[in-house]
Structure 1
Amino acid sequence: MVFRPNSNGCTRGSSCTADINGQCPGELKAPGGCNNPCTVYKTDQYCCNSGNCGPTDLSRFFKTRCPDAYSYPKDDPTSTVTCPGGTNYDVIFCP
């Protein structure tokens, strides 16, 4: 999927062309998709509720395949994309 701004001078979007559902780790598999580790484990390590957390093997799984994605609550700011209000976007499935 590609999420690309096309107005307001905003030029940075994000994309992920990996087959996350097809490559999903066994412990995260769900009917028709791949669960978030927080949904499965419900621990601070994966949910980061205390504010003191870091990447895990599972967040690295997603980050490696989709570097633009925000993969855990304290992920690096390069994964955050902001554009001005009123920006239009192209959303492209299966680029």
Structure 2
Amino acid sequence: MPVGQFWDHTLSTRKSPAFLEQDSHVYGYFQAIHGPWVVSCYQDLAKQITVALKHEERRCQYLSTQAKIMATVHDEVASMPEGRLI
């Protein structure tokens, strides 16, 4: 079984909106068959996504809005009888 490599990108959000007040983590795992450049590319992508999400949260509360929508839909689906999910 090939050995793998974990990676983690942490973005401290101490000066962020309340929704992002904790540290954000983007994790990944790659098998050893992938070269180090693949891991590096994904780490860079994780950093860019984290920065973009922070920016959108500051600009228009994107994450807060989406979290509320998902919670509402989850509650609606959870309250449906089992046969009505399809």
Q: What TM-score comes out, normalization by structure 2 length?
A: 0.25
- Highest relative contact order (Cα 8 Å, sep 6+), 1 or 2? 1
Q: What TM-score comes out, normalization by structure 1 length?
A: 0.24
More helix by share: 2
Rg larger in structure = 2
